[in-house]
Chains A and B, each alone.
Chain A
Amino acid sequence: MSMDDSDLLMDADHELAQAGASPLEDDGAGVREFITALIKAVRATQTYAEGNALIAQFVDSAAEQMATLWERTDHVTLTVDEDRFLWQDQTVYAKEIGPANLAFMFFRNGIRVISFLQGFEQDQLADFVAIIGAGLRGADEDLLATLWHRDLDAFQMEYVDVAEDENLELPQPDRNAGEGETIEDLEEIEDVVASGELPPDEEEAVAAITLSEADYAYLNREMEAEWLRPLARDVTLALLDQFEMRDVTRRKQVIDILREFLPLQFSKRDFSNVALIVTELQLLANKTGDEETQELVTSLLKDMSEAMAELVAEPEDDGGPGPEADEVRALADALQSEAIPTLIRAVPAVANQRTQHQLMEALDRLVQAHPESVQDLLISQDSVLVAESARIIGRLSLKSAEPALVALMERPDHQTRQAAIGALIQIGSAQISRLLKTALEDEHRDIRMTAVRALATLDPDAAAATLADVVTGTSIREREASEQMSLFKAYAEAAGPKAVPVLARLLNQRSWYGSRGAPTVRAGAARALGLLHDPAARKALDKAAKDKDDTVRNAVRVALKAHAHAPEADGPGAEEIE
């Protein structure tokens, strides 16, 4: 099969040769050098990453080599053989047949003649080199088709259909049909000739099918509209029409197609189309009232939920513009419980607050409808997932998850324990006091602090007793100053004025050998006393106002300042403390 303009080129070669005007009357050295430079450029695409400057250097070098050819000729036409390129019957490239053989790559794709024209080296060579490089790398592309579609201005090729059956039966019309025969029945012909019949209104008919500039303009507009057509959208509308107007068998076919089609739309981030599909399907499923159809739709949405959730939650700067509010709403409404894990992981990181809020609502809806789904996640080893799940359980007060949350308190990672204790506090666990007491001794400060705050809030009396043990115990000294301070404050809040004697003792009492407690502990006691606005507290502070230790003295000063700004409160008298 002779294609493109190659025949013209071959004709011209023939004519040039006949005229003795072959423009490259040498041994083809220039062509060889060009092919060598071309191959180096192709190899560079295989060696270096796309965009590497070295590739451009090799391409430039090949372009320079090609430009020198144009000083002597207008085109270079190469015949492609299985293992070589021939230029004017001379071998200008040959190599053992194999995947690295450039000629073989063309040959096995059915390309039999290639021609380069002037101008090729300017802006087409780099493109060509990239295509050939991909071909040699074994990219699963049809080289011929790729080059054909690229339609390079200054490159032409002649090809055959390599897939053609050797025994392809060609039609063999008989040009000599009827030879020697005579038509017997001439009545019609004779009548026509005798009557001088001619077609009526021929001029009018010709005029009616002659295209005016306005006609071309119309067709041009239509072509532009075709090219701009929202293809995926229109295919979607057709599929939805099919779903709506046909029976359940057709609906099943459509659903099967959508299992492939929807992920493609996800990858294109076509939120609008995805939103249309999921919204319409749900409406149509409800409209039919047909259980099987509803199951089909639900099943599809279940299968797509995870991917849909990822699509919406994906950071905008990674994948183009994010979805509009109504699109998020449509997608969120369609999500099934299968989306819960994905949402739990992704929602906290969603940058767009509106989207995050919408997804949070969707997540809450799904978790409330399917609490077991999120409880199941608590046994996951993914600590982030577990922690987020626990937080949601807490936020939604899912009491049924309590045993699983309690179990989480044994997990080694503190994020999980922290989330679990937070959730247990929120759902008001019956075991919370015990758990909090245990948590006060947790190895991680944040958990201890959570427990302290929670204790003070949930059960002040129990908290007072527990915290009294903590602040007077020996372990208090091992804690950081800020944690010590928090413990003292929590104790003061929980116990109120009843804490004054304990705190006063911790601040001022000496041991039997005359030493005082650790300065940070004493300072914590002083700050706590500052919160308790009663005379006994004030007295204890006054007593320590000139303490030798800077830390203690400073804490006392702050506490006294707090007393100065606060009304006196009822509490045990100074004498009582003495």
Chain B
Amino acid sequence: MNEHGPLSGQSDNVVGTEFLSSLYAATKALQIYPDENQVVRDALAQLERLAADLIKHEGGLAVWLAGSFIFVNDLRVRVDLTDYATLAALRELLRGHGIGRITVSSEVTRSDWLGFLGLVGHPATPGAAALETFEEGLAEIGVSVIDVAAPAPLFNPQGEADTIEAARRTYASSVKAARDMMSNMVTGKAIGARRAERAILGLVDQVLQDPASILGMVTLRDFDDHSYIHSVNVAILSVALGDHLGFSREQLFQLGFAGLFHDIGKILIPPDVLNKKGWLNEEEWDKVSQHPDFGLLLLFNVEGFQEPPYRAMLAAYEHHMKTDLSGYPRVIRRRRQGLFGRIIAVAEAYDAAVSPHSKQFAPSSPDEVIRQLREAENNQFDQMVVKAFANMMGLYPVGTTVILDTGELAVVVAKNPSASALSRPLVRLVAQADGARIANGPIRDLTEADPATGKVSRTISRSTDPARYSINISDYVA
């Protein structure tokens, strides 16, 4: 077995999923019951058996976390929504301890598993010391046949810079593709699906590889035309939510496609109406409210797929409907609003609310928008989708400007990898407490603890308006 990365290995996906589920089940059992309880014993017996099988047939056993992927013996375990809750919980448990890799020796015994899982199920030490603490714990209980290590770097040695650069390229390319395709539609040309398809493939891969980097791009607002940015942003937010929920790659593709074209109907709305500042009169509103209708009809012009993009059509048509099918367009022949339409409705509402390009509203802080979405009328959005969206974004989404309890000013750059730290994102420091701006400020994990006191070093006091401090969010995030 290769010791260097998730390269090879041949393992049945089912076996991999079974093993990971078993690992999690045993951990949970140990959290609830004493060691000698039958539930624990059964769970451990199954874990031992699966581990022994894998070691016997593949010469070893290693579990890797890489981005949103989990590998067992170097084979990526494909997670669908059925297993997602379990595997996402396991991933978060391991991440909480700073564990990115577990290597199990063939000499592992039940006692070793017992000790190891006991530590995994124990609350993690906040911050960077988590892995060190875990390793010390293993040493203390004498477990030497299970090794843990930090997550392997997902990207090449140039690291973050390259990832961000790739995300920027994907984003810019997608905006351009959206602009080109929609311009063609305005002139009545059919849209070749290939260009759109490539754009979505790139977005999906970027989300799968590093959701944080592409989510950061959503804060970019300096392109010429807001419509295209909004379309790409909704595609990104939707795909990121789909990924967060364990959608397959193909499902993500379809969701991204639907997101990119959800507002395609707006190209048929007169610009003076679409770009009007302030409230619309009845006639203007009648025009604007027909953009889902136009979206449905226009998407029949997409060529290159075996069938018309039905799912995208329906998402474009339904994204302003409420869950009870009120909203617009009016529904005469009743049917169920699709999940894609409900996801895009939330993504669209979020992006529109944080956008400085809104014609009717001043932009809101991302954390405020999350709160508003959660507090929206019950039928406005699918509240479970809103909950999942908020869970993905955290209480302080990427791009939120925050005042820390230290008096420092910062911008949220990523959700904390630990699922339980939803209020403690990663932030880039923008200004010191005395007001001095920090050039290329460092990124801080708000779960980091002061070694001296064991208490977290920084906590968000509140979000604030970046304009008040002349902060261009994308300078810090994108």
Q: By the criterion CB–CB under 8 Å, are B198 and A210 in contact?
A: no
When distances are taken between beta carbons in the complex, the residues of chain A under 8 Å from B74 are 74, 117
Q: Say yes or no: B437 contacts A235, CB within 8 Å.
A: no
Given A2-B156, A184-B435, decide whether A175 and B85 contact each other with a Cβ distance below 8 A.
no
A291 at the interface (CB under 8 A from B): no
How far apart are the CA atoms of A222 and B342 in the complex, in Å?
A: 10
Of A82-90, A159-167, A387-395, the one with at least 4 CB within 8 A of chain B? A159-167
Q: Are B201 and A188 in contact (CB under 8 A)?
A: no
Cβ B475 vs Cβ A174 within 8 A: yes
Q: A12-B7, A175-B475, A238-B317 are in contact. Are A193 and B297 (CB under 8 A)?
A: no
Q: Is there a chain A Cβ closer than 8 Å to B162's Cβ?
A: yes
A11 touches B308 (CB 8 A): no
Establish whether residues B170 and A192, one from each chain, have CB atoms under 8 Å apart when the complex forms: no
Q: How far is the CB of A263 from chain B (nearest CB, A)?
A: 12
**What's the tally of chain A residues with a CB closer than 8 Å to chain B?**
104
Interface locus among B39-47, B277-285, B402-410: B402-410
B468–A142 CB distance below 8 A: no
Q: Which of A212-220, A317-325, A345-353, A482-490 contacts B (4 or more CB under 8 A)?
A: A212-220
Q: Are B388 and A211 in contact (CB under 8 A)?
A: yes
CB of B293 within 8 A of CB of A250, answer yes
- Rounded to whole Å, the gap between the CB of A81 and the closest CB of chain B is 19
Contacting B475 at CB < 8 Å: which of A177, A225, A226? A177
Interface residues of A in 76-120 (CB under 8 A from B): 110, 117-119
Question: For this complex, into which size category does the number of interface residues on chain B fall?
Answer: 35 or more
A74 touches which of B2, B409, B440, B469 (Cβ 8 Å):
B2
When A170-B172, A175-B475, A215-B387 are in contact, do A117 and B8 touch as well, CB less than 8 Å?
A: yes
**How many residue-residue contacts, CB under 8 A, span A and B?**
315
Interface pair A223/B474, CB less than 8 Å apart: no
Does B211 sit at the interface, judged by CB under 8 A?
no
Q: Is the CB of A238 within 8 A of B314?
A: yes
> Which residues does chain A contribute within 8 Å of B477, judged by CB atoms?
173
Of B198, B205, B405, which contacts A163 at CB under 8 A?
Answer: B198
Contacts of A1 in B (CB 8 A): 166, 169-170, 202, 205-206
Q: Decide if A192 touches B462 in the complex (CB within 8 Å).
A: yes
Asked if residues B423 and A206 are in contact (CB atoms below 8 Å), the reply is yes
Interface assignment of B194: CB less than 8 Å from any CB of chain A: yes
Nearest Cβ in chain A — how far from B332, in angstroms? Answer: 5
> From B464, which residue of chain A is reached at the shortest CB distance?
A188
Which residue of the partner chain A has the closest CB to B290?
A246
- Does B331 sit within 8 A of A, measured CB to CB? yes
List chain B positions with a Cβ less than 8 A from chain A: 2, 4-10, 13, 66, 69, 74-76, 78, 81-82, 84-85, 152-157, 162, 165-166, 168-173, 176-177, 194-195, 197-199, 201-202, 205-206, 208-209, 217, 220, 222-223, 245, 247-251, 253, 293, 296-297, 300, 307-308, 310-311, 313-314, 317, 329-333, 335-336, 338-340, 342, 370, 374, 382, 384-385, 387-388, 390-391, 395, 403, 405-407, 409, 419-420, 422-423, 430-431, 433-440, 459-462, 464, 468-472, 474-478
Q: List 21 A-B contacts (CB under 8 A).
A: A1-B170, A7-B155, A74-B9, A118-B9, A145-B201, A161-B202, A169-B172, A179-B437, A182-B436, A186-B434, A199-B395, A199-B461, A209-B374, A215-B388, A226-B338, A238-B313, A238-B314, A242-B297, A244-B332, A245-B329, A254-B297
Q: A8-B152, A206-B423 are in contact. List 17 more A-B contacts (CB 8 A).
A: A1-B169, A5-B6, A7-B155, A8-B66, A117-B9, A117-B75, A161-B173, A171-B172, A183-B431, A193-B406, A209-B370, A209-B387, A216-B81, A226-B338, A237-B333, A241-B333, A254-B297
A residues with a Cβ closer than 8 A to B are: 1-5, 7-12, 14-16, 19, 70, 73-75, 110, 117-119, 142, 144-145, 148-149, 151, 153-154, 161, 163-165, 168-171, 173-186, 188-190, 192-193, 196-199, 202, 205-206, 208-213, 215-220, 222-227, 229, 231-232, 234-235, 237-242, 244-246, 250, 253-254, 257, 260-261, 264
